[in-house]
Amino acid sequence: MYIRQVLRELAAAGQEVTVLVESGTEEFFSGYSYLSAPGWTRRPVFSMLWHLLILPFYLRKTQFDFFLLTAANRRALSFYPLPTLAVVHDLSQYHIPGKYSRLRMLYLKRILPHFVRKAQQLVAVSHSTAHDLHEFWKIPAHRIQVCYNGVSVLPQGKGDWCERYQLEAKKYILYVSRIEHPGKNHWNLIKAFALLPEELRAGYKLVLAGSDWQDAARIKSMASQSVAAEQIVFTGFVCPEDLREAYTQAKLYVFPSLFEGFGLSLLEAMACGTPCACSNNSSLGEIGRGAALLFPPGYPEQIAAAIRKILEDASLQAELSEAGYRKIRDYDWEKHAKALLQLADTLLSEKTSSCGCCKS
């Protein structure tokens, strides 16, 4: 989602964009010039090595003006022959124990930071991420620029999403996230739903939408053992054409993640007028403050209290819906792309000055 939105805005701003894509994913970037990485880089370890050791030498031979590294919390180069903007979305590896294997943790905590620091400009998508870059990767604050993500305009779908999953409009609580344990915190949300008064809970379903990810089977097993098991619905992946209906027909959107670098779905729900409740930590507390009911994600009782408060208070529902509409004005993909281009222009100017091209 991030890459698609930024590409669209850069192209709209008149930039000639060439996209480096994984082999086999070219169809997702139709309309753009692209370069395909070798097929063998589809394996994560080989991808990491190719980015680190081969891509820099390729870029050194090109005529591109600058390089946009769209996920520097995943990949980095050993050196940067072009002026580079390195976008970091989150440093969740420092906040969620057990999120990744030991080998991946070694890469994310020891190898990656060393090379990301070499990029000429670091971009964080939230102040929360900027704080983490300074605290954990020891990057000076003056080298980090916060550029908020935008809120996406969701396409109009066929209008049959609720029917497919036998959902009644305004009779379900929604959470859109990959089904991942423990980071996305589905278990505490399931516990919270079960803690609602039975007469209130009976009127709603808890809809957990998203693709299976790490320990998804464990989450589904937990759900099947809940006293509210018959009211919990797993829909699998939701395509963009169905998201608008999923959000607009929900009575409440809840985002209980233990940690997020940004949390795009919170803004998407707000843009659809859906009252929201979310965790009070990381970027969720930063973005949700003033427009969502906040709760500590580690306590099912407090998640349940927030859900109950919204479900039982029509005036609060209207207040949160209006607050959400106001909040999304601060998040715009065009503004994000313009900020990136301004940073790129600064890097290009510094490069020109340092090479002495402007000296008489």
Q: Where are the domains of the chain?
A: 2-150+332-349, 161-330
Of 32, 29, 53, which Cα lies nearest the Cα of 41? 53
User: Dihedral sign, CA of 2, 17, 70, 335?
Assistant: negative
Contact 271, 114 (CB under 8 A): no
CA 347 to chain centre: 26
Dump pLDDT digits (tens) for 5-54: 999 999 999 999 999 998 888 888 888 999 999 999 999 999 999 999 99
pLDDT recorded at residue 224: 97
pLDDT recorded at residue 360: 29
For 299, the token pair is: 């306590």
Backbone angles phi, psi at 294, to 5 degrees: -95, 150
pLDDT recorded at residue 355: 59
Q: At what angle do helices 264-271 and 314-327 cross, to 10 degrees?
A: 110
Distance CA(31)–CA(94), nearest Å, equals: 38
Neighbours of 40 (CB within 10 A): 10
Neighbours of 112 (CB within 10 A): 22
Q: Which amino acid is at 93?
A: Q
pLDDT recorded at residue 352: 74
Give the neighbor-by-neighbor strand order of the sheet with 121-124: 67-69, 84-88, 121-124, 144-146
pLDDT recorded at residue 26: 84
The whole model's pTM is what? 0.92
Contact 269, 202 (CB under 8 A): no
**Per-residue 3-state assignment (H helix, E strand, C coil) for the chain:** CHHHHHHHHHHHCCCCCEEEECCCCHHHHCCCEEEECCHHHHCHHHHHHHHHHCHHHHHHCCCCCCEEECCCCCCCCCCCCCCEEEEECCCHHHCCCCCCCHHHHHHHHHHHHHHHCCCCEEEECCHHHHHHHHHHCCCCHHHEEECCCCCCCCCCCCCCHHHHCCCCCCCEEEEECCECCCCCCHHHHHHHHHHCCHHHHCCCEEEEECCECCCHHHHHHHHHCCCCHHHEEEEECCCHHHHHHHHHCCCEEEECCCCCCCCHHHHHHHHCCCCEEEECCHHHHHHHCCCCEEECCCCHHHHHHHHHHHHCCHHHHHHHHHHHHHHHHHCCHHHHHHHHHHHHHHHHHHHHHHHCCCCC
Of 259, 217, 213, 267, which Cα lies nearest the Cα of 237? 213
For 345, the token pair is: 């222009």
CA atoms within 13 A on the CB side of 341: 17
- Give percent of the chain above pLDDT 90: 87
What is the architecture of the domain spanning 2-150+332-349? Answer: 3-Layer(aba) Sandwich (3.40)
pLDDT recorded at residue 134: 97
Strand pairing category for 121-124 and 144-146: parallel
pLDDT recorded at residue 356: 54
Backbone angles phi, psi at 84, to 5 degrees: -125, 135
What is the architecture of the domain spanning 161-330? Answer: 3-Layer(aba) Sandwich (3.40)
Cis, peptide link before residue 182, omega less than 30° from 0: yes
pLDDT recorded at residue 207: 98
> Mean pLDDT of successive 10-residue segments in the chain (360 residues)?
93 95 85 91 93 95 94 97 97 90 92 96 97 97 96 89 96 97 96 98 98 95 97 95 96 97 95 98 96 98 98 98 96 97 94 56
Backbone angles phi, psi at 206, to 5 degrees: -100, 115
Tally of residues, the chain: 360
Tell me whether the CATH fold assigned to 2-150+332-349 matches the one assigned to 161-330: yes
Distance CA(90)–CA(94), nearest Å, equals: 10
